[in-house]
Amino acid sequence: MLRVWEQPGPADIAPRINDFLRGLPGPIAIHVAGRDPARCRVLVTLSHGNEPSGLEAVQRWLLSGTQPAVNIVVIFGAVAAAAAEPLFFHRMLPGERDLNRCFTPPYEDCQGELAQAILSHIRRQRPEAVIDLHNTSGSSPAFAVTCGDAPAQRQLVGLFVEQLVVTDLRLGSLMEQELGCPVVTIEAGGSQDEQAEVTADRGLARYFGEDDVFAQLRPITLFKHPLRLELSHHSRIDYAQRALHDRDITVRDDIEQFNFAPVHAGEMLGWLDEDGLDHLLISGGPDDHPPVEYFRVEDGQLYPRRTLRVFMATTRPDIAASDCLFYFIPED
C-alpha cells in the first residue's frame, strides 16, 4: 500500500518531472538521513493528483544531493491520479474518494486504507513536525491552514508563508489528526502560479535544512473561522462571462482574481436560475448558516451581503461540484 524508498541519491532521480512521476511505483515514503539522526520531520505532498508543486520541489531538492538537518520522510499519496493522462489533471481517480478527506475513520475503501497506512507510517517515525503541502485549486496567493493556533504551528507556517487561516472545519484531512507533533497545511498557490514554485522551494529548504525550525517566529497575518460555500446535491455549475441557461449556477470565469482579497457587497459573483440560493449550502462552525445570511440574489445575479474574504476559488466545475465553490471569512 505504501512503499518505502531508502536514501535515494541524485543519480536515482529522473531529471524530468514527468519521468520522475512515472518512475514512482505508487504511493511511497522516501527516507533521507539527516545530520541529526535522532530527530525526524515529515512532508506529505501530492495528496491530490493535480497539485504538482510539492513533487517538483522535492525532486529538485533530491537532485541537489543536500543533506538535511534531521531525518526527512517525504510521502507522495496520489501518484496514480497524477500519472493518469493528462498528467497532473485529476484530483483523484474517477470513482475514488479524495485522499485528504479519508484520514478520519472508517478506512473501508482503498483511499481510506492508504490514509491509514500514511498515518501509521508517520506515527512510527515520531516526527517533531509534519507539513502537508498542497496547491490551491485555482490561482491564489500562498497561505497556511491549521487546526488550532499554537506558537509551534505559527513557527512552521513562517517557514513557508505569511498568511494563516485557523479553521474549525473538520473534513477528514491530515492536519486534523493527532500525530504527536505540530501539523500544518501549506497551500503554495495555484499549480500554474510561478510564485508557488518559489514558495515550495524556499519553504522546503528551510524545513529540511534548518537545525531548529521552531527557533524563529516570523510575522503572520491571521484569519479565523472560515466557512465553505458548497453546491447543493445535483445542482449543475459552470464558469463563464454570462449566464449559461443549461446550468443552475454560472460563476464568473474570473472568480480566481478574488482569492485572498476582500469581496465587497456590490461585487457580482455569478448567475442563478429561478431556484436561486436553493442551489447553495454553507458549512462550517457549530451553527447552521443559511446562504441568505451571507448572499443575496438580485435580478438573477449572486452578490455577497457584506464584505467577505474569499479563498480557494476555482474555475474547475468538477472540483467545485465535488468539493466546494470557495471558502470565505466574513469581515466585520
DSSP string computed for 10-33: GGGS-SSHHHHHHH--SSEEEEE-
188 and 269 belong to one structural domain:
no
Confidence at residue 286, expressed as pLDDT on a 0 to 100 scale: 66
Confidence at residue 233, expressed as pLDDT on a 0 to 100 scale: 87
CATH number at residue 7: 3.40.630.10
258 and 151 belong to one structural domain:
no
Domain holding 56, by residue range, is 3-224
How many of the other CB atoms lie within 10 Å of CB of 100?
Answer: 26
CA-wise closest residue to 312 among 213, 181, 173: 173
Whole-model pTM: value is 0.95
9 and 91 belong to one structural domain:
yes
- Integer distance in angstroms from the first to the last C-alpha of the chain? 47
How many of the other CB atoms lie within 10 Å of CB of 314?
Answer: 23
51 and 102 belong to one structural domain:
yes
Q: Is 112 helix (H, G, I), strand (E, B) or coil?
A: helix
> Of 224, 251, 286, which residue sits at a domain end?
224
158 and 189 belong to one structural domain:
yes
> Of 197, 224, 251, which residue sits at a domain end?
224
197 and 311 belong to one structural domain:
no
Write the secondary structure of 121-158 as one string of H (helix), E (strand) and C (coil): HHHHHCCCEEEEEEEECCCCCCEEEECCCCHHHHHHHH
212 and 240 belong to one structural domain:
no
49 and 183 belong to one structural domain:
yes
How many of the other CB atoms lie within 10 Å of CB of 187?
Answer: 29
136 and 169 belong to one structural domain:
yes
35 and 85 belong to one structural domain:
yes
Whether the Cβ atoms of residue 249 and residue 272 lie closer than 8 Å to each other: yes
219 and 263 belong to one structural domain:
no
Backbone angles phi, psi at 65, to 5 degrees: 70, 15
> Of 196, 224, 252, which residue sits at a domain end?
224
| Domain total of the chain | 2
Per-residue pLDDT tens, the chain, 332 aa: give them: 899 999 999 999 999 999 999 999 999 999 999 999 999 999 999 999 999 999 999 999 999 999 999 999 999 999 999 999 999 999 999 999 999 999 999 999 999 999 999 999 999 999 999 999 999 999 999 999 999 999 999 999 999 999 999 999 999 999 999 999 999 999 999 999 999 999 999 999 999 999 999 999 999 999 999 999 999 989 999 999 999 999 999 999 999 999 999 999 999 999 999 999 999 999 986 677 899 999 999 999 999 999 999 999 999 999 999 999 999 999 87
255 and 203 belong to one structural domain:
no
